[in-house]
């Protein structure tokens, strides 16, 4: 029998009030360079599209990270140690956490942290069923801000924050540093982080990954506007916008854009939003790092880089960082 029924714990205020949310969206749509938060990708439909993206031949991060984990978990596990509590920020694919849990020595607890209660509950319940000796405690929280960790029935030896999938790249560098500081706080003295980081590489490979030939990423990007229409009463003409992902070599990042095909006007929250032909909305950044750049960022957040593992083609990396005692 499972030692934990995966009951949901609410750790902080995850969602701003609707008025504040609308105000933030409106500020982004009326800024000199229009922008929207990438969090609007991820309703149920968006999550299904992202899972499809992860299977595309052009999209290398997911399969490459999995190969790195497959090949190097025997090295990672002794560094991490036995009887850890694994705290996953933005609990994503259950395949990734299962891969990690299966490679660790007697993991004591799993704490998935996310802002989507239905997805979080479903995923945690499935894990609790399949790992009956593991304490599974899902936490509903905005992981970009410090939150209270649950108390476990059996105290783990240490905390390991797990953040796979290169999501750290979605944050601009000052925000990424702040997020690493939150992770350091949650891991606690003597704790550790295991984090996936996309690497700088041939820009052609990067561009192809975000402009796939099947058009799945385009549908995923347009889902932002679809949600504003269906959930907040906007009237964006989805056919009037085109997906485009541009690689900025100077900044070392992909910019996901929705480009207006024509001069047009949309309505949102009682306001008119005008677009010139060719004007775009930035919906996501995806920063790429060199190994040295990410190690320097980690040190600036008070973390100690211990090891980094890469694939043979140096497309992706997994970093093990520790929190000083």
In tens, the pLDDT along 166-189 reads 999 999 999 999 999 999 999 999
Q: What is the pLDDT of residue 8?
A: 74
Measured between its terminal Cα atoms, the distance across the chain in Å is 36
The average pLDDT across 260-285 equals 97
15 pLDDT tier (thresholds 50, 70, 90): low
Asked if the model's pLDDT at residue 74 lies above 90, the reply is: yes
Q: Are residues 151 and 235 in the same domain?
A: no
Asked if the model's pLDDT at residue 91 lies above 80, the reply is: no
Q: Which residues constitute the domain of residue 124? A: 60-201+289-322
Report pTM: 0.90
Asked if the model's pLDDT at residue 10 lies above 90, the reply is: no
Q: Are residues 266 and 185 in the same domain?
A: no
Residue 66: count of CB within 10 angstroms of its CB: 17
The average pLDDT across 99-126 equals 89
Taking only the tens place, the pLDDT of each residue in 40-55 is 898 889 988 998 999 9
Residue 111 lies in a domain: yes
Residue 143 lies in a domain: yes
Q: Are residues 81 and 182 in the same domain?
A: yes
Highest mean pLDDT among 118-132, 152-166, 228-242: 228-242
Q: Are residues 43 and 72 in the same domain?
A: no
C-alpha dist (Å) from residue 285 to 11, 172, 178: 27, 8, 16
Q: What is the DSSP letter of 149?
A: P
Inter-residue contact 322 to 67 (CB < 8 Å): no
The average pLDDT across 197-207 equals 97
What is the C-alpha to C-alpha distance for residues 171 and 282, in angstroms, rounded to an integer?
13
State the DSSP H helix or E strand holding residue 90, giving kind and residue range, or none if neither: none
The average pLDDT across 294-321 equals 98
What is the C-alpha to C-alpha distance for residues 307 and 298, in angstroms, rounded to an integer?
12
1 pLDDT tier (thresholds 50, 70, 90): very low
Q: Are residues 234 and 255 in the same domain?
A: yes
CATH of the domain at 146: 3.40.50.150
Residue 224 lies in a domain: yes
Q: Are residues 239 and 186 in the same domain?
A: no
Residue 293 lies in a domain: yes
Three-state DSSP string of 233-301: CCCCCHHHEEEEEEEECCCCEEEEEEEECCCEEEEECCEEEEECCCCEEEEEEEECECHHHHHHHHHHC
2 pLDDT tier (thresholds 50, 70, 90): very low
Q: Are residues 170 and 241 in the same domain?
A: no
Asked if the model's pLDDT at residue 153 lies above 90, the reply is: no
Structurally, how many domains does the chain consist of? 2
């Amino acid at each position: 029998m499972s030692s934990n029924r995966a009951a949901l714990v609410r750790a902080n205020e995850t969602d701003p009030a609707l008025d504040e949310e609308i105000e933030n969206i409106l500020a982004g749509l009326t800024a000199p360079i229009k922008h929207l938060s990438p969090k609007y990708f991820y309703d149920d439909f968006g999550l299904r599209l992202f899972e499809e993206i992860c299977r595309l031949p052009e999209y290398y991060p997911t399969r490459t990270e999995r190969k790195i984990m497959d090949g190097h978990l025997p090295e990672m596990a002794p560094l991490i140690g036995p009887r850890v509590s694994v705290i996953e920020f933005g609990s994503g694919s259950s395949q990734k956490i299962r891969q990690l849990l299966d490679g660790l020595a007697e993991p004591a607890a799993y704490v998935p942290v996310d802002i989507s209660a239905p997805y979080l509950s479903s995923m945690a319940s499935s894990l609790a069923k399949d790992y009956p000796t593991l304490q599974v405690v899902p936490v509903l929280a905005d992981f970009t801000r410090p939150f209270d960790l649950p108390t476990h029935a059996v105290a783990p030896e240490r905390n390991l924050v797990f953040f796979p999938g290169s999501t750290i790249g979605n944050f601009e560098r000052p925000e990424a540093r702040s997020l690493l500081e939150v992770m350091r706080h949650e891991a606690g003295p003597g704790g550790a982080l295991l984090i996936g980081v996309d690497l700088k590489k041939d820009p052609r490979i990067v561009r192809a990954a975000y402009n796939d030939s099947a058009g799945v990423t385009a549908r995923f990007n347009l889902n932002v506007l679809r949600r504003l229409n269906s959930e907040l009463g906007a009237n964006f003409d989805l056919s009037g916008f085109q997906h485009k992902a541009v690689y900025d070599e100077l900044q070392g990042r992909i910019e996901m854009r929705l480009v207006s095909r024509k001069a047009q006007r949309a309505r949102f929250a009682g306001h008119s939003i005008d677009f010139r032909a060719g004007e775009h909305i930035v919906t996501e950044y995806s920063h790429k790092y060199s190994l040295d750049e990410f190690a320097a960022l980690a040190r600036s957040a008070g973390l100690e880089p211990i090891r980094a593992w890469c694939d043979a083609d140096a497309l992706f990396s997994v970093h093990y960082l520790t929190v000083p005692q």
